[in-house]
Structure 1
Amino acid sequence: MGVVVVTGASGGVGRATARAFAERGDDVALLARGQAGLRAAAREVERAGGRALPIQVDVADFAAVDRAASRTEAELGPVDVWVNAAFSGVFAPFTQVEPDEFRRVTEVTYLGFVHGTRAALDRMRPRDRGVIVQAGSALAYRGIPLQSAYCGAKHAIQGFTESLRCELLHERSGVRVTMVQLPGMNTPQFDWVLSRLPRRAQPVAPVYQPEVAARAIVHAAEHPGRREYWVGGSTVATLLGDKFAPGLLDRYLARTGYGAQQAGQRRDPAQPANLWSPADERRDFGAHGRFDRRAVRRMVQPWASRHHGLLGAAGLLLATLGGVIARARR
């Protein structure tokens, strides 16, 4: 049993991750903005057998994150695992995203990870132990249309984490940092992230349940020696496809990326937007979005995706590239 901090813990992947650590026997500090979501997440942690410490905090504010870390250690004990999962975004073409909105996404989605990592390191390094897990994305490697701010932040997290990992290795530190790269997830984000799309936003297929990501994050915390883990074989194929056929995916996504990220229904102009204030302040959204029927519940992926090798992804890569090339040439 240990002490775990999860940011973005009131909904989606963060919510499922907090529950998964509690089921393992850990006590969990839940950091998020929305009171209703935090209260519900805390109840789930306690039902799973862990102690819960819900803390309302905006991860864009380093001082607030640092205070939350101090409170966690005072009330639960030394932090063993810190999971950065909080984010926000805007679904819109880049020219329809206001500069202050782009800045806000960057502050939450990128600097929120920087702030959480710094708060964790300030406490873990003197003890020479601890694990930091970054909930990353396939979009850290491959940007897609309509999510420029989010993709930019995920790319930044990747570079920041690689730099930090080298520094910790140089120090021969006992603190470990790893990433879990996620595909499209069935979370509430598609109904509470600011959107200017004409139709309802949706994840690019294949879509996975947040519990799949949560299990991968717990596994990464237990085995932090690898630099990163991948959820979903298609993410590996996408990465390799961009390396072996540069520019091809740009043309493919230019053709398909707009339609693939929008459902058939018109977007409700009154839907919440959590960029500036939490959508779950008075209403709990839970971990799941509206895609339960199509979401994968188990980690269906090749050996190479689990172990970040290349050979096991070769077949999937060829199949994916075949489809991409056929569509791009039409």
Structure 2
Amino acid sequence: MTQTVVITGASAGIGRAVAQAYAERGDRLVLMARGRAGLDGAAQDCRERGAADVRTYQLDVADHEAVRAAAADAAAAFDGLDVWINDAFVSVFAPAWEVSPEEYRRVMEVNYLGTVHGTLAALEHMRAAGRGAIVQVGSALAYRGIPLQAAYCATKHAIQGFNDSLRAELLHDCPGVTLSMVQMPAVNTPQFSWVRTRLPRHPQPVPPIYQPEVAATAVLWAADYGKREVNVASATWKTRLGNIVAPGLLDRLLSTTKQGYDAQQTADPVDPAQWHDNVDKPRDDDRDFGAHGVFDDTSKPYSVTLWATMHRPALAAAATGLGLAAAAAVGIARRR
């Protein structure tokens, strides 16, 4: 069945990869982002991959009225909305005391309030229809903050809390609408070339790094099956487990130069005069960056953990079958 899918932050990175994946299914796509060149590139990608239809809306998700108007326009054009993916975000890499109040506010407006705005716009149509799927693109950092990313980590924690409250409300009032959060590991997206940074060297995702198509696979699976939460890679699980078992030890590990600071930077120095970020205005307004960042050579194209999660019933059945076969073999041997 052809679906109408809305994706914010669709011009690059994970959002772009998600749009491409839905296009290959032949779905109708509603793409939202700030950058004109990135949006146009994403739309062209999706049409070439077989999307049934593509509509683009150049907007800032921090503007609730713009998001709401675009949602209403798309819903009218496509007779409703089936899936909504919230992915848009910005970030500032710096010690917490070097981030200004205005920067904290901006990151919160885009990441957290942008997610709220998208979710409310989706619910306006999905609750009326009694069905739909909303997926928040989250992070392992929704559970565990790390140094140099206080503003970003705070927003992911906020989204997690918002989701917990909303999920219970939907189960009570509108169980036909599912709400998922996909907790990402480090992903090779263009964000690391356009975040606002005060670090001495080029920002990078903390290894191991995964390609955005891995993230997209998890997002589509979560939307298809209404999964409450999906942890995409073993690094996500390890981060969450470590924060439960030994949060104090994790504090100290992350405070070390090697674990908490060097792991978030390459060896390449940053020239502040040449570095341009996307916090206040898009970097992809006149240039299309695509889905991938600059770490293709060191990024994994698959996640064994995600594969196992997606095939858990089959793996459980196989394990049960092997157990029964082993028990039968033991029984036969004893009778002999």
TM-score (norm 1): 0.91
In the other structure, the counterpart of 1:161 is 163
Distance in 2 (alpha carbons) for counterparts of 1:304 and 1:238: 18
Q: Secondary structure at the match of 1:293?
A: helix
In the other structure, the counterpart of 1:204 is 206
Q: Secondary structure at the match of 1:181?
A: strand
CA contact (8 A) 1:138 1:235 kept: yes
**Deviation, structure 1 residue 173:** 2.6
Letter in 1 for 2:249: L
CA contact (8 A) 2:201 2:270 kept: yes
**Deviation, structure 1 residue 66:** 0.2
**Deviation, structure 1 residue 267:** 1.1
Distance in 2 (alpha carbons) for counterparts of 1:294 and 1:124: 40
In the other structure, the counterpart of 1:111 is 113
Q: Show CA shifts across 1:220-278 (max 9, x none).
A: 11110x31001111211121111111211010011121110010000132122100000
Q: Indicate how the Cα distance of structure 1 residues 211 and 52 shifts in structure 2: closer, same or farther if over 3 A, else same.
A: same
TM-score (norm 2): 0.89
Deviant stretches of 4+, over 2 Å: 74-77, 302-308
1:272 maps to 2:273: no
Once the two structures are superposed, the pairs formed by residues 16-55 of structure 1 within 5 Å of their partners are: 16-50=17-51, 51-55=53-57
Q: Secondary structure at the match of 2:300?
A: coil
Letter in 2 for 1:251: R
Q: Secondary structure at the match of 1:271?
A: coil
Q: Secondary structure at the match of 1:103?
A: helix
CA contact (8 A) 1:231 1:306 kept: no
**Deviation, structure 1 residue 303:** 7.1
Q: Show CA shifts across 1:168-204 (max 9, x none).
A: 1111431111111101000000001111111000000
Q: Secondary structure at the match of 1:133?
A: strand
Once the two structures are superposed, the pairs formed by residues 123-162 of structure 1 within 5 Å of their partners are: 123-162=125-164
In the other structure, the counterpart of 2:8 is 7
CA contact (8 A) 2:130 2:174 kept: no
**Deviation, structure 1 residue 305:** 5.4
**Deviation, structure 1 residue 73:** 1.4
CA RMSD, aligned part only?
1.6
In the other structure, the counterpart of 2:197 is 195
Distance in 2 (alpha carbons) for counterparts of 1:59 and 1:251: 36
Unaligned runs of 5+ in 2: 317-336
Distance in 2 (alpha carbons) for counterparts of 1:55 and 1:220: 24
In the other structure, the counterpart of 1:74 is 76
1:259 maps to 2:262: yes
Q: Indicate how the Cα distance of structure 1 residues 302 and 52 shifts in structure 2: closer, same or farther if over 3 A, else same.
A: closer
Q: Secondary structure at the match of 1:179?
A: strand
In the other structure, the counterpart of 2:304 is 300
Count of matched residue pairs = 309
Q: Indicate how the Cα distance of structure 1 residues 303 and 26 shifts in structure 2: closer, same or farther if over 3 A, else same.
A: closer
Among candidates 213, 218, 221, match of residue 220 of structure 2: 218
Q: Indicate how the Cα distance of structure 1 residues 32 and 172 shifts in structure 2: closer, same or farther if over 3 A, else same.
A: closer
Distance in 2 (alpha carbons) for counterparts of 1:302 and 1:169: 26
Higher helix share: 2
1:89 maps to 2:85: no
Q: Indicate how the Cα distance of structure 1 residues 245 and 305 shifts in structure 2: closer, same or farther if over 3 A, else same.
A: farther
Letter in 1 for 2:271: D
CA contact (8 A) 2:218 2:306 kept: no
**Deviation, structure 1 residue 307:** 8.2
Distance in 2 (alpha carbons) for counterparts of 1:307 and 1:193: 35
**Structure with max Cα Rg:** 2
In the other structure, the counterpart of 1:324 is none
Percent identical pairs in the alignment equals 55
Letter in 2 for 1:166: A
Q: Secondary structure at the match of 1:301?
A: helix
Q: Indicate how the Cα distance of structure 1 residues 304 and 215 shifts in structure 2: closer, same or farther if over 3 A, else same.
A: closer
Letter in 2 for 1:96: E
Letter in 2 for 1:287: A
Q: Secondary structure at the match of 1:29?
A: strand
In the other structure, the counterpart of 1:282 is 286
Q: Show CA shifts across 1:282-322 (max 9, x none).
A: 011111000001101012227775589xxx9xxxxxxxxxx
Letter in 2 for 1:289: G
Q: Show CA shifts across 1:60-114 (max 9, x none).
A: 0100000110111122331100000000010111111111011000000000000
